[in-house]
Amino acid sequence: MRMQAWSGTTLPMLLVSLFCMFVVAPVSAQDSEFDLITVLRQAEPRGVLATIVALEEVSPQVRALGQENLWMDLLATRLTFVHDAKNSIRLDSLAYAREKAAGADDSRLGELEPRPAMEEIVKLARRQRVVMLNEEHRRSQERAFANQLLEPLAQAGFTHLALETLDADEAALAARGYPLTSDGFYTKDPALGDLVRRALGLGWKVVGYEADFSTIPEEYAGMPMGRQSWREEQQGKNLAELLRAEPEARVLVWSGRHHMSEMPLATPDGSMPSLVPMGGRFRQHSGIDPLTVDLMVMKEAHSLEYEHPLYREAEGVGLRSEATVFVSEEGHPFSATSYIDVSVFLPRSRIESGRPHWMKMGGLRREVDLDTGNFDERPGLGKPLAIQARVADESPEAVPLDCVIWREGQPPVLLLRPGLNYELRVVAPSGEVVWRERLELR
């Protein structure tokens, strides 16, 4: 679905947003005693908290070797799994910052009407069979917003949730009714994991559409651009096949970064070759023009200098305390790029009891204060704990409904859905559960 675009985010930003996860700074022979990826691989079997601690401990070596971008990317992504919003936003703002420079502002946002994004997206979705949304993997805010959209889209007739990150036995997932930590990488974030849980609870079919890399042709395997192009093609084909196999399906597609872009991406100077992302491949294979909604460009940064100029402008012309879109007199929603239909301006965080207000998901969750005086163990300097809220009677391997990192001097607060029973756990970096308690939340 193509909308009018008033302003352009630079193409290098779009391309870098697709590829920066795969860029690893080279390590010379003289630096071979330290390797960031080795640190990561050694820590990950011990769990998310152990990985975060290990990455934070090597900060001095990372700076000395010039691997800050990769380090910030890896750490910020994992901080979303323990809902450390402050630090994940800070690191996301800084990671690959040079490549994220924004384009010139010619939008005239002041001439447009600000409207609640939820209502506008649902109104546009009623005429669509496929709606695509995206996320920045280093943040949870987009995932929290998607949770608010789920029930209105179900009421509008949507039936499927397709996630790029999902790697699960879909029949077993449907029978179980909730995701395991092994069912996907980014679904380890409790906000995204609960999106899956709630979609299943609404009767939706939850599917994955990632490329099967075991089938990649040899000629692409060693070529980063060729590999990425093949991946986009496979994702688009997989989604098109889903729509052909289930003619009545209406699908919410959850994608990473700018994979959902509908048109070829290329830098004007030709420094990077043209790439047709998943969104464009899907259109080619299905003949369906999806509604593509960007959630990751118009958002706050930890410092104003890293924010898109249109985001700063929006604060002066109607950006709400909720997600906002800007609409012309003719009813066309604003898009900051010609490759996507709608730009959502996410609200600046308002910290309430140590948590960003948007994690309450428009009232879906409420604060639960914890009496930490009963805990057998407390965090120390450089030795945080994680507090998990697991839905009672789910598997120990289930994705928690909420998880917060508990650092020294920072009282923890959980945000939970009412009407459920929980098991609260305090987990040490070793993975040991050092305290647990049952909680019934009316």
Of the chain, the percentage scoring pLDDT greater than 70 comes to 88
Q: Which tokens hold the place of 91?
A: 């690191």
pLDDT at 363 over 60: yes
Q: Are residues 64 and 139 in the same domain?
A: no
Rounded to whole angstroms, how far apart are CA atoms 229 and 223?
A: 10
Cα three-residue angle 81-360-249, rounded to 5 degrees: 75
Taking residues 208-224, what's their average pLDDT? Answer: 89
Are both 238 and 266 inside the same structural domain? yes
List pLDDT tens digits, range 25-82.
Answer: 434 434 446 789 999 999 999 999 999 999 999 999 998 888 999 999 999 999 999 9
- Is residue 137 in a domain? yes
Same domain, 199 and 227: yes
Geometric angle at alpha carbon 117, from 112 and 122, rounded to 5°: 120
Residues 372 and 408 in one domain: yes
Q: Do residues 161 and 252 lie in contact, with contact meaning Cβ atoms separated by under 8 Å?
A: yes
Identify the H or E element spanning 208.
strand 205-208
419: left (phi over 0), alpha (psi -120 to 50) or beta: left
Residues 50 and 118 in one domain: no
* The pLDDT value given to residue 22: 44
Position 430: which residue type? S
| Nearest alpha carbon to residue 17 among 389, 254, 296, 214 | 296
Per-residue pLDDT at 263: 82
Verify that 174 and 143 share a domain, yes or no.
yes
Would the pLDDT of 5 be above 80? no
Name the least confident of 210-224, 292-306, 328-342, 356-370: 210-224
Query: If you average pLDDT over residues 181-188, what whole number do you get?
Result: 97
Q: What is the pLDDT of residue 34?
A: 78
Average pLDDT over residues 255-271: 76
C-alpha to C-alpha distance for 194 and 8, rounded to whole angstroms: 34
Q: What residues make up the domain containing 431?
A: 365-441
Within this chain, do residues 265 and 126 fall inside the same structural domain, yes or no?
A: yes
Question: How far apart (Å, rounded) are the C-alpha atoms in residues 245 and 247?
Answer: 6
Provide the phi-psi class of 70: left if phi over 0, else alpha when psi is between -120 and 50, else beta: alpha
Judgement on whether residues 91 and 238 belong to the same structural domain of the protein: no
User: Same domain for 163 and 285?
Assistant: yes
pLDDT band at 320 (very low <50, low <70, confident <90, very high): confident
CA distance 243 to 248: 8
The structural domain count of the chain equals 3
pLDDT reported for residue 1? 56
Domain at 380, CATH number: 2.60.40
Average pLDDT, the chain: 89
Q: What is the DSSP letter of 437?
A: E
The more confidently predicted of residues 72 and 339 is 72
**Lowest model confidence (mean pLDDT) among 17-21, 297-301, 355-359:** 17-21
Structure tokens that stand for 198 in this block? 């709630």
123 and 76 in one domain? no
Residues 293 and 333 in one domain: yes
Helix axes 141-155, 117-125, angle to 10 degrees: 50
Q: Is residue 270 part of a domain?
A: yes
Percent residues over pLDDT 90 in the chain: 76
Q: Assess whether 242 and 335 both reside in one domain.
A: yes
Q: What is the pTM of this model?
A: 0.92
| 120: in domain | yes
So what's the pLDDT on residue 223? 83
